Amino acid sequence: MVEKHKTEWRVIVSRAMAILVLLGGILLAAGLCNATPASDNTVPSIFDPRSTTAESIDHLSRFVLAITGLIFLVVFSLLTYATVKFRSRDANTNREPAQVYGSTQIELAWTVIPILIVVVLFFATARVIHAIQDAPKPPTAVEVTAIGHQFWWEFRYPVLGVVTANELHVPVSDPNHPTPTFLKLLSADTDHSFWVPQLAGKTDLIPNRLNQMWIDPQQTGIFLGQCAQYCGTQHAKMLLRVSVDTPEAFDAWIHAQKQSANRDDKEVAGRHVFETTACVNCHAVGGTNATGRFGPDLTHLMSRSTIAAGAAENTNENLRLWIQNPDAIKPGSLMPAMKLSDPDLDALVRYLETLH
Amino acid sequence: MSPDAMAIQAAEVDAGRTLVQVLHEWVTTVDHKRLGILYVLLALMFLLIGGLEAIIIRIQLMRAHNDFVSPQVFNRMFTMHGTTMIFFVVMPVMFGFANYLVPLMIGARDMAFPRLNAFGFWLTAFGGLLLYFSFVGGNGLYGAGNAPDVGWFAYAPLTSRAFSVGHSTDFWTVALLVSGFGSIATAINIITTVLCLRCPGMTLNRMPLLAWLNLVMAALVILAVSPLTAAQVMLSVDRYLGGHFFDTQAGGSAALWMHFFWIFGHPEVYVLVLPAFAFASEIIPVFSRKPIFGYPAMVAATVCIGFVGMTVWAHHMFTIGMNSAANAFFVLTTMIIAVPTGIKIFNWLGTIWGGKIQFKTPMLFCLGFLFQFLIAGLTGIMLGTAPFNWQLGNSYFVIAHFHYVIVGGIMFCLFGAFYYWFPKVTGRMLNETLGKLHFWLFLIGFHLTFDTMHIPGVLGMPRRIYTYEPARGWDTLNLIITAGAFIQGFAILIFVVNLVFSCFRGAKAGNDPWDAWTLEWSVSSPPPSYNFASIPTVGSRRPLWDRKHPEDPDYRYE
């Protein structure tokens, strides 16, 4: 009786283990396949592609998932079957099972079949690598130079003559008349990586090296991403927003960004504070004597919805807090606390708020 | 002090020696078994420290915008966690087991170079202490942070003096330099021992798989650690002698460091996993009551992994902008390595097939390993597909993948090895009830943490971020991951309790508690000094099987 209990217990243990591992697998598979996006598009899932490059990666990924899933099911079933079937049922007999040393045919089979799978996977992969990396640049492409900084993004449109930060604007691309955006990736300091999962895979920004990538977004909207290569203390808050605009909205945005700063003489006091403190060492405002490049260009600060590389909403309170005590928003960022008097701070923020 | 040392010490104090004498013996020992134990104890100590760091990381990440630790402390924690676990937990523990087991299993009385062996251990030990001394000494004259915070692969130019002031990076560099020399010394020792000290009759073709796998592991250590050591020297030259190898501001190359690091870093994975395979290859046959299925194929697959493993390193660098041909090449080599690895899994399956599986704790851990390593291999194929990697690389999917390899694969085998060889080392059995509790809790915690962890990666969560934005769909997942981490931590505590308890109160083991077949079970537990009173002669891969079954010995079939 005791023996029987023991045996049953063993069965339960092995089945429980099988179920656990199976559950794990299902959880994994479910997570991978059904990572469906939230409707407001704040979940940057790689399986919710909105651009040609991300889409071809998505197709390949699903193909690889299917093959690996199949391998998983087969080997998992075999392992589970063997574990349950060949458990020692009677602990008391000392009889050893048949001693089998190997089998050339079987071993050959499980060598050749994986080799065939590898060949298939390799060619499927190589095709996508070629399609993405060696794609020619059409003359209609928008050119952007992205420069990684600790801990923010600088975007320059050399042809269009626009400089902005952290929020990249690109035109939506019509499949019939594609206007993809080609990015040259550079870094001003350490390694960074440009990753907006719904638009493309990531590419690193490495100092003293020129990298390239392209996106071809098929749908307008805001797409979220962030730096994906550890770059220092505030790597976590080096966030990235890509605004995919209609062609008209993109042209309007470019037109607005090309204007130099709004010379609104009402805020002359704040402008004085800006231009006579350390602000100008790092920040540029077009059309003024502020030409620093260490921090983001502020010419059209108010056209951006966030500050501090996406760490905070672009609001009056956040601007004040960011200037007085950046560590409250982003500890370890390279923006110094400006330690201004309250009237100066008020004037400065009022001035910044004229930079549309 | 650890249980093993305490038991042995207690026995020796009883024998009338003072504590100082005993300590002196342990510090000056050149005995391969004692050095093996010292390696394992060192690794266990660092395992607890590295585990604590993991728990701190997980508490910080359990919800969005948490402020349990500052970003600076978080960055130190993940750097120290990675460095500690790879260099001062898994490597030393594998060297410890190799040191203890290889001479016993090949019928030798010690390692080939006993004093080099001790030298290697102490270099590793002091390397580890040096790394942790950075918490005290890393400030330097600049008051700029203490422990290293550059990540465990320390990409240039974050390690240059412009971005890493103070001495934290120097502690990291020198700690790895020092322990690297220790690793190379031990590797040379293992190779020489396996090639030169096998007992009569033990041809390479009859050598236990554990010895084979450790032989290939040691060869990989020499090939892999040397470039790392060179890179550390170059980095120090950059930092202190005005060199520009990796100094991008003066024309150096950040990608050069990546190549140096990963030509170490990827073979390193095999350095860690081959000894784990070795444990599985010894334990699975014994508890299936069958010889290993396809021994020659297993050896060939091991050697093949060793060679191909040297050619795959740049699959860690698919996102750095290599050209399409280079990317395709590394996709191919990475996928090829799945073939010998697959052969191994199938051969273990073949070993179980038709056996009489005994679900003792060592076997439970090895079965867990088989299932989990299967999944780890398949997510590895996903990551080896370069375009898929452009999405998944540097995300939490990668973290989940390599923890599946290191925890789900290597650690599970390692725990199996602890339960399997503890009786040989101490003469006492580890408690089975606590062992099973340890297994099930760890299994549940492991799957809770690392199955879940794949998903935030797919949802765009990069690694090495100290906090994240809410509303990205990552919050709940991270909470589950953290819960799993606590369960794993609790399971580890049970394991430690079991080690200490069983050391004193465990059932007496006898020479051969598992009815096993390799030479270490032919001697007393613990084995006597110099192992074998007379050097054995073997006629097959399972010498003890031949002795126990003279009517049907193995050598008839090999």
A69-128 residues touching B, CB cutoff 8 A: 71-72, 75-76, 78-79, 82-83, 86-89, 91, 96-103, 106-107, 110-111, 114-115, 118, 121-122, 125-126, 128
Residues A228 and A292 occupy one common structural domain: no
| Mean pLDDT value of segment B91-116 | 96
Residues A231 and A324 occupy one common structural domain: no
Burial class (CB in 10 A: 0-12, 13-18, 19+), B95: buried
Q: Nearest-5° angle of CA A242, CA A243, CA A248?
A: 145
In whole angstroms, give the CA distance from residue A209 to residue B302: 38
Greater confidence (A41 vs B260) lies with B260
Question: Which of B138-152, B160-174, B302-316, B512-526 shows the lowest mean pLDDT across its residues?
Answer: B138-152
Residue B63 pLDDT exceeds 90: yes
DSSP for A256-280, please give it. HHHS-----GGGHHHHHHHHHSTHH
**pLDDT score recorded for residue A38:** 42
The reply to whether A108 falls in a domain is no
A229 at B interface, C-beta within 8 A: yes
Instruction: Count residue pairs from A and B with Cβ separation < 8 A.
Output: 319
Residues A278 and A221 occupy one common structural domain: no
List, for residues A128-143, the tens digit of each pLDDT value. Answer: 999 999 999 999 999 9
Q: Select from A88, A123, A155 the last residue of a domain.
A: A88
Greater confidence (A28 vs A111) lies with A111
CATH number of the domain at A234, please: 2.60.40.420
pLDDT band for position A36 (cuts 50, 70, 90): very low
Residues A81 and A175 occupy one common structural domain: no
3-state helix, strand, coil in chain B (%, to 5): 70, 0, 30
Domain tally, chain A: 3
| Mean pLDDT value of segment A43-58 | 94
Burial class (CB in 10 A: 0-12, 13-18, 19+), B301: buried
A272 Cα to chain B: minimum distance (Å)? 33
Subunit contact A100:B343, Cβ cutoff 8 A: no
Sign of the four-CA dihedral B108, B109, B110, B115:
negative
The reply to whether A258 falls in a domain is no
Residues 6+ away with beta carbon under 8 Å from B373: B345, B404, B405, B408, B409
- By residue range, what is the domain housing residue A187? 142-247
pLDDT band for position B135 (cuts 50, 70, 90): confident
Q: Which percentage of chain B shows pLDDT scores above 90?
A: 91
| Mean pLDDT value of segment B133-137 | 85
Residues A269 and A240 occupy one common structural domain: no
Residue B354 pLDDT exceeds 90: yes
- Give chain A's mean pLDDT: 89
Residues of chain B in contact with residue A82, where contact means CB-CB under 8 angstroms, are 349, 352-353
Residue B14 pLDDT exceeds 90: no
CB-nearest to B458 from A32, A185, A201 is A32
**pLDDT score recorded for residue B555:** 85
**pLDDT score recorded for residue B140:** 54
- Name the pTM for this structure: 0.92
Looking at residue A51, what DSSP letter applies? B
Helix or strand run (H / E) with residue A222: strand A221-226
The reply to whether A32 falls in a domain is yes
The reply to whether A338 falls in a domain is yes
Provide the greatest CA pair distance for chain B.
75
Q: Select from A205, A220, A247 the last residue of a domain.
A: A247
In whole angstroms, give the CA distance from residue B327 to residue B337: 16
Question: Which of A9-13, A110-114, B297-301, B306-310 shows the lowest mean pLDDT across its residues?
Answer: A9-13
B129-188 residues touching A, CB cutoff 8 A: 149, 151, 155-158, 162-163
Residue B11 pLDDT exceeds 70: no
| Mean pLDDT value of segment B484-493 | 97
**pLDDT score recorded for residue A9:** 57
List, for residues B23-38, the tens digit of each pLDDT value. Answer: 999 999 999 999 999 9
pLDDT band for position B4 (cuts 50, 70, 90): low
In whole angstroms, give the CA distance from residue B130 to residue B119: 16
List, for residues B374-419, the tens digit of each pLDDT value. Answer: 999 999 999 999 999 999 999 999 999 999 999 999 999 999 999 9
- Give chain B's mean pLDDT: 93
Look up residue B397 and give its two tokens. 């999917």
**pLDDT score recorded for residue A72:** 96
The reply to whether A183 falls in a domain is yes
CB atoms within 10 A of CB A204: 29
Residues A284 and A333 occupy one common structural domain: yes
List, for residues A307-351, the tens digit of each pLDDT value. Answer: 999 999 999 999 999 999 999 999 999 999 999 999 999 999 999
Residues of chain A in contact with residue B355, where contact means CB-CB under 8 angstroms, are 86, 97
Catalogue all structural domains in chain B, each as residue range(s) with its CATH number: 1-28 (no CATH), 31-556 (1.20.210.10)
In whole angstroms, give the CA distance from residue B221 to residue B182: 11
In whole angstroms, give the CA distance from residue B385 to residue A128: 10
pLDDT band for position B279 (cuts 50, 70, 90): very high
**pLDDT score recorded for residue A41:** 73
Subunit contact A24:B345, Cβ cutoff 8 A: no
Residue A12 pLDDT exceeds 70: no
Q: Select from A67, A88, A109 the last residue of a domain.
A: A88
Residue B523 pLDDT exceeds 60: yes
List, for residues B193-242, the tens digit of each pLDDT value. Answer: 999 999 999 999 999 999 999 999 999 999 999 999 999 999 999 999 99
List, for residues B470-486, the tens digit of each pLDDT value. Answer: 989 999 999 999 999 99
**pLDDT score recorded for residue A47:** 95
Q: Which percentage of chain A shows pLDDT scores above 70?
A: 87
pLDDT band for position A260 (cuts 50, 70, 90): confident
Residues A166/A312, Cβ–Cβ less than 8 Å: no
Q: Which percentage of chain B shows pLDDT scores above 70?
A: 96
Residue A153 pLDDT exceeds 70: yes
The reply to whether A12 falls in a domain is yes
Residue B1 pLDDT exceeds 80: no
Look up residue B115 and give its two tokens. 């004093």
The reply to whether A34 falls in a domain is yes
**pLDDT score recorded for residue A29:** 57
Residue B424 pLDDT exceeds 90: yes
Residues 6+ away with beta carbon under 8 Å from A86: A97, B288, B352, B353, B354, B355, B356, B357
Residue B8 pLDDT exceeds 60: no
Question: Which of A90-104, A209-223, B145-159, B300-314 shows the lowest mean pLDDT across its residues?
Answer: A90-104
Q: Give me the helix-helix angle, B254-288 and B361-384, nearest 10°.
A: 150
B364-403 residues touching A, CB cutoff 8 A: 364, 367-368, 370-372, 374-375, 378-379, 381-382, 385-395
The reply to whether A130 falls in a domain is no
Residues of chain B in contact with residue A24, where contact means CB-CB under 8 angstroms, are 375, 447, 451
B124 at A interface, C-beta within 8 A: no
